[in-house]
Amino acid sequence: MTHPVELLAEYVDGALMPSDQALVDAHLAGCRSCRNEIEAADAARRALSTLDAPSSVPSGVGAPALAEMSRTRSGATTPRWIRVLPIAAAAVLVGLLAVVIPRIGSDASGDATSAPETVAADQRGELRLVAGNRDLDPSSLEAAAEAYVSDQRIAEAAEASGVAGASAAAPPAPTLGIAKTEAALACVRSAFEGFPGTVVGLERVIFEGSPAILATVLEGPGAGQPPDTVSLWVASVPDCSTVSIASASL
Amino acid sequence: MNDPTSDEELVRRSLNGDESAFGSLIERHQDRVYRVCLRVLRDSEEARDAAQDTFLTVFRKLAQFRGDAAFTTWLHRIAVNSCYDALRSKRRRPLLQAIGDEQDGPLELGPPVDDHADEIAGAIDVESALAAIAPDHRIVLTLADIEDLPYEQIATILDLPIGTVKSRVHRGRVALAQALGIGQTPSPSKGLTEPAQGEGPSEGSP
């Protein structure tokens, strides 16, 4: 005997056509299990009807979408000039900062209130803020930049040898939603305003005991050329000031 | 609803850059989106995040809305996908569980219990039971029995054959009943969130 599972939901709903109703009735007359299921399903359906509506929707549910619409309409996208900075100037700037400001702290950069609405580039749509809890400091940040480079080389070697999926990586950390990702991206872009590069990774971290956002940034000569430098930017939260930076050559 | 402007008209105006139209669209539907997300995710903050992501996605894909289906169907689809993303990122439990939609046999239940409804009302926590069943069952019950959407619309939202939706609704209800303590599985090894395959009587049932 075949149990008419696809008809049982509508049987409980009382929504079957008469012919199907008769078919199910005939089946139920000889099938105790289906009778039990019908009773259970009917009780569950009635139980669900007793649920109260959830509390009212929290404010701001539509705010990120409306803000993006406003940004789009006003034409405020990523400043294109960032991408056409002279290569030498960019490299010198990044190299200098890596040496001079391993940790800027929250000095004069506290004035990070200028509009951080420069999130159109990077990897929007693919980028997701990782809810990590790594504990970093300036030296481990340097090590992380080097580790990124070696990971990339391993991945490239695996790809070149046709060994797909060879990465024996740990399971991915949980990621957060689009709105939080965009807020984190805006924060690091604010902290590192004017710095070139494409953000390819965002992670919540603890930097020297304080919450921060770690951005992985690829920099290159542009004009279709592949990136040649990876930089790790650290911005404090919630004030979005520059905390540290490290870079390595790819 | 007092605003007579159709969703489709608000979409058209939104695509022309009318922010107030898009705001109206959000205002009109934010309750239902948040409600679905809250039922599925069981956490108000996660539900708020998923609802925010839903409307961001709606904005970004608005031009792709062709009007082949109702706007609410399209919106629900995006909302459910946002919920799945949230569930996936949390890795609370395997998403695609062996629900057994294709099996013919019903889940094995114990003897029927007389009139359950009165017993349910009150003491038994339906919310907790809903939280205990598989996410796929929770989603389909949320859409069918809480939001009262027709099965055809749910099939479009979930991109599933309608027969699968009907089976899943039935099995979800049975799983919920078990979580509520209505009908005991004969074997304690049969978990509520992972309906076993083919455990009902199959061939040769009376």
pLDDT in tens, A194-233: 788 889 999 999 988 889 999 999 887 776 778 888 899 9
Q: Give the pLDDT band (50/70/90) at residue A10.
A: very high
- HSE value, Cβ hemisphere, 13 Å, CA-based, for B166: 17
What was the pLDDT predicted at A137?
87
Whether residue B130 contacts residue B176, with contact meaning beta carbons closer than 8 Å, is answered with yes
Record: contact B176-A48, CB cut-off 8 A: yes
The model's pLDDT over A134-191, given as tens digits with 9 standing for 90+, comes to 889 888 898 898 898 888 888 877 777 765 544 445 566 788 888 888 889 989 888 8
Q: Among B33, B150, B161, B139, which Cα is nearest to B84's?
A: B139
| From B30, B129, B146, residue closest to A61, measured CB to CB | B30
A148: enclosing H helix or E strand: helix A138-160
Q: A144: distance to nearest CA of chain B, Å?
A: 23
Task: Give the predicted TM-score (pTM) of the model.
Answer: 0.60
Q: Is this complex scored with an ipTM above 0.90?
A: no
Averages of pLDDT over runs of 10 residues in chain B (206 residues) are: 80 93 95 92 91 94 87 94 85 42 43 45 71 93 94 94 95 95 51 36 30
Report the chain B residue with the minimal C-alpha distance to residue A35: B112
Q: Which of A43, A58, A179 sits opposite B56 (nearest CB)?
A: A179
User: Which tops the pLDDT comparison, A109 or B49?
Assistant: B49
Sign of CA dihedral B43, B47, B49, B53: positive
Q: Give the number of other CB atoms < 10 A from CB of residue A137.
A: 16
Strand ordering across the sheet containing A129-136 = A129-136, A198-207, A210-219, A229-236, A242-249
Distance of CA B160 to the CA centre of its chain: 13
CA–CA separation, B140 vs B158, rounded Å?
9
Question: Percent helix, strand and coil across chain B, each rounded to 5?
Answer: 60, 0, 40
For B59, the closest of A65, A171, A176 (CB atoms) is A65
| Nearest CB neighbour to A51, from listed B19, B126, B169 | B126
pLDDT in tens, A67-106: 989 887 765 444 333 333 444 444 445 554 544 444 443 3
**How many contacts (CB atoms, under 8 Å) link A and B?**
212
Interface test with B, best of A33, A56, A59 (most B CBs within 10 A): A33
CA distance A76 to A165: 39
Q: What is the pLDDT of residue A122?
A: 60
Note whether A176 contacts B89, CB cutoff 8 Å: yes
Amino acid at A81: W
Model pLDDT, residue B51: 95
Contact criterion met (CB < 8 Å) for B129 and A48: no
d(CA A218, CA A198) in angstroms, rounded, equals 5
Q: At CB < 8 A and 24+ separation, what contacts does B94-98 make?
A: B95/B135, B95/B136, B96/B136, B97/B134, B97/B135, B97/B136, B97/B193, B97/B194, B98/B194, B98/B195, B98/B197
Select the more confidently predicted residue: A172 or A234: A234
Residues B146 and B138: their CA atoms lie apart, in Å, by 10
Residue of A nearest to B124 (CA): A47
Percent of chain A whose pLDDT exceeds 90: 26
| pLDDT tens by residue, A193-204 | 878 888 999 999
